[in-house]
């Protein structure tokens, strides 16, 4: 048994409903009934929750990868600094001014080069992967 319900719609909404009914060859009440059923369906809410949950899981995995990559980068930098400090000889007092000037020049060059690479989108990771592709191809050729 179906119950009768009178509803009022805004003119533009009613026009859209009317156009859809004509296009689909359905009664307006059938379309409205399906829309209300979909709105009241717990399945729709469950589907939205599942989609949101999948998206959050993906973001959590991405954050874990970023954390791993950052810890690798920090560890690599720390090892490089420790190695560099252990092999660098101390500078005599008389040569320190020249060493500081040369260091400032090298640092400015480093910052300039870094800026250019970042503007071009170049990364060391991409360069390494590009360098490894020819090596892997050569190794596969030697195995044959």
pLDDT at position 41: 77
Q: What is the pTM of this model?
A: 0.47
pLDDT digits (tens, 9 = 90+) for 34-78: 888 877 876 767 788 888 999 999 999 999 999 998 898 899 899
Q: Is the pLDDT of residue 132 over 70?
A: yes
CA distances from 131 to 19, 76, 124, 135, 141 (A): 59, 20, 10, 7, 16
pLDDT at position 114: 86
pLDDT digits (tens, 9 = 90+) for 84-129: 888 988 899 999 999 999 999 999 999 998 888 888 887 777 777 7
Tokens 């003119």 belong to which residue?
11
Find, among 35, 18, 36, 40, the residue nearest to 27 by Cα: 18
Which class for 67: exposed (0-12), middle (13-18), buried (19 or more C-beta within 10 A)? exposed
SS3 4: coil
pLDDT at position 13: 93
More confident residue, 142 or 104: 104
Q: Is the pLDDT of residue 26 over 90?
A: yes
Token pair for residue 34? 């399906």
């Amino acid at each position: 048994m179906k119950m009768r319900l009178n509803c009022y719609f805004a003119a533009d909404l009613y026009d859209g409903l009317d156009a859809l009914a004509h296009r689909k060859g359905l009664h307006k009440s059938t379309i409205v009934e399906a829309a209300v059923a979909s709105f009241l369906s717990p399945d729709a809410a469950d589907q939205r929750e599942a989609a949101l949950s999948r998206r959050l899981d993906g973001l959590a995995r991405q954050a874990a990868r970023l954390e791993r990559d950052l810890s690798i980068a920090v560890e690599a930098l720390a090892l490089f600094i420790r190695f560099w400090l252990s092999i660098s000889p101390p500078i005599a007092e008389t040569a320190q001014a020249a060493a500081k000037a040369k260091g400032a020049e090298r640092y400015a060059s480093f910052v300039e080069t870094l800026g250019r690479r970042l503007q071009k989108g170049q990364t060391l990771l991409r360069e390494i992967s590009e360098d490894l592709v020819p090596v892997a191809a050569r190794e596969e050729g030697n195995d044959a």
